[in-house]
Amino acid sequence: MFSFKQFLFLISFKFAISSYFDENISEIQCKCVPPHLCADHDEAANGQGLLDIRFEDDSCPNHFDVCCETPLETSPKPLPSKKCGFANSQGIGPRITSDSEVVQFGELPWTVLVFVTSQTVEKAPLICGGSLIHPQVVLTAGHCVSTTSSDTVKVRAGEWNIKRTDEPYPHQDEFVKEILVHPQYKTGTLWNDIALLVLNQAFVVKANIGFICLPGGKLKVDEKRCVASGWGRKATARGRLSAVLKKVTVPLVGRNKCQKALRGTKLGKAFRLHKSFMCAGGEKNRDACKGDGGSPLICPLEEEGRFVQVGIVSWGIGCGGNKTPGVYVNLPMYTNWVDRHMKERNFSTSYYKV
């Protein structure tokens, strides 16, 4: 049996130990929040978000979140650039992967999904990709929507992984109220393969939702480092539609060289490349593919980290065949057409002007 003094000592000791652990546990307790909601989140100092994690970290159920000791009550408002074409080269929030073909979250904020509204995008057939040129206007390919009623089409902006909902910033969905296909679009040959989608409501611009520039004047671009992106199939024989937004770097290819390469395919020696098309790629397994239609082909401007859209994914012979370029809408031909429709609807063209 304990004496009364021993009993008091044990009670005091237990209280002291309990207090010690309570104090120290409170110091290390944290809340799982997105990195931008953490006051003590310092990427430069600790490498958070820059490391290619090779295991599943279960400290937070959402793999984008960080364990934060001092979470902010409200999110700081990252102000997207008012200028078009600025990519978030490192993405938004934690760096996701070192795979050069996978777009980081928010890296290309103008890239959108176009899908059927009868189902959720996770289950619906993906119609095409597109690019945001105004809060209420999307640019895509004519073949994506030429036979589709506007009341069955929806656009999603700010998406990255179709199968996940735990991303740093939420995506936004809007219904389409008007489809404008180029009047000279031809179904069989895909000539003039361009369309505009006017939305019921404007998207709210966020860090993961922005605008791409359209070509105008005599812009100088880096023709060797252009980028095609989308959720389409990989450029391999058994490629599947991707749940994650992907990209591929491709060089622009001159008209004569492209036509010669295409004549070496099933198109035959008499094939003539229509003026409404341009070409890019030609390296094996580096190409846009099925499901990427309507998605943008962008090229870097001289200003670091800024891009202009020069084409729209249209068609090809196979995907990634050796020395066979992909074919894109020759977008500089259509900037006046786009401008005219924008002005007719009292939409500002300043969103996509360089």
**What is the pLDDT at residue 297?**
96
Residue 87 domain-assigned (yes or no): no
Say whether both 206 and 143 belong to one domain: yes
Can you tell me whether residue 127 is helix, strand or coil?
A: strand
- In Å, how far are 2, 47, 329 from 274, measured between CA atoms? 99, 50, 10
Q: Please provide the distance, in angstroms rounded to a whole number, between the alpha carbons at the two ends of the chain.
A: 86
Which band of pLDDT confidence, cut at 50, 70 and 90, is reported for residue 104? confident
CATH of the domain at 232: 2.40.10.10
Q: What is the pLDDT of residues 286-319, one digit of tens each?
A: 656 666 789 999 999 988 889 999 999 998 887 6
304 with 346, same domain: the answer is: no
pLDDT the model gives residue 90: 75
Considering its fold, how many domains does the chain have in total? Answer: 3
Same domain, 174 and 242: no
**SS3 at position 252:** strand
Task: Tell whether 278 is covered by a domain.
Answer: yes
Domain with 10, as residue range(s), is 4-68
Q: Based on the fold, state whether residues 242 and 290 are members of the same structural domain.
A: yes
- The rounded distance, in Å, linking the Cα atoms of 99 and 238 is 20
- Quote the radius of gyration of the chain (alpha carbons, Å): 25
| 197 and 253 assigned to the same domain | no
Q: Is the distance from CB of 208 to CB of 158 less than 8 angstroms?
A: yes
Look at residue 166 in the predicted model and tell me its pLDDT.
79
Range name among 132-136, 139-143, 208-212, 213-217 with the lowest pLDDT average: 213-217
Residues 6+ positions from 341 with CB-CB distance below 8 Å: 180, 196
pLDDT category, 178, cuts 50, 70, 90?
Answer: very high
pLDDT of 60 > 50? The answer is yes
Is pLDDT larger for residue 66 or for residue 249? 249
Does the pLDDT of residue 265 top 70, yes or no? yes
The percentage of the chain sitting over the pLDDT mark of 90, rounded to a whole number, equals 46
Most confident among 19-23, 103-107, 127-131, 204-208 (mean pLDDT): 204-208
Does a structural domain hold residue 264? yes
Which helix (H) or strand (E) element contains residue 115?
strand 111-116
- Comparing 45-54, 69-78, 84-93, which segment has the lowest mean pLDDT? 45-54
Verify that 207 and 340 share a domain, yes or no: yes
pLDDT at 92: 72
Among positive and negative, which fits the CA dihedral 271, 277, 280, 284? Answer: negative
For the ranges 52-61, 102-111, 193-202, 242-251, the maximum mean pLDDT occurs at 193-202
Amino acid at 270: A
Residue-by-residue DSSP string for 175-221 = EEEEEEE-TT--TTT-TT--EEEEESSPPPPBTTB---B---SS--B
Residue 98 confidence (pLDDT) above 60: no
Alpha-carbon distance of 99 to 64, in angstroms, equals: 17
Which candidate, 312, 167, 296, 179, places its Cα nearest to that of 243?
167
Residue 216 lies in a domain: no
pTM: 0.76
203 and 247 part of one domain = no
Q: By the 8 A CB rule, do 134 and 348 touch?
A: yes
Residues 156 and 181 reside in one and the same domain:
yes
Instruction: Compute φ and ψ for 55, nearest 5 degrees.
Output: -145, 165
Same structural domain for residues 39 and 186?
Answer: no
Q: What is the pLDDT of residues 185-200, one digit of tens each?
A: 999 999 999 999 999 9
Residues 195 and 289 in one domain: no
Rounded to whole angstroms, the Cα distance separating 34 from 89 reads: 19
Among the ranges given (179-188, 209-218, 275-284), the one the predictor scored with the smallest mean pLDDT: 275-284
279 with 238, same domain?
yes
Final residue belonging to a domain, choices 68, 99, 119: 68
Q: Is residue 76 part of a domain?
A: no
Q: Does residue 244 carry a pLDDT above 90?
A: no
Average pLDDT estimate for 78-86: 71
The whole-number average pLDDT for the span 25-31 is: 56
243 and 197 co-located in one domain: no
Backbone angles phi, psi at 45, to 5 degrees: -80, -40
Residue 262, C-beta contacts closer than 8 angstroms, at least 6 positions apart: 271, 273, 317, 324, 325, 327
Q: What's the burial of 164, exposed, middle or buried (CB within 10 Å: 0-12/13-18/19+)?
A: middle
| Mean pLDDT, residues 145-152 taken together | 86
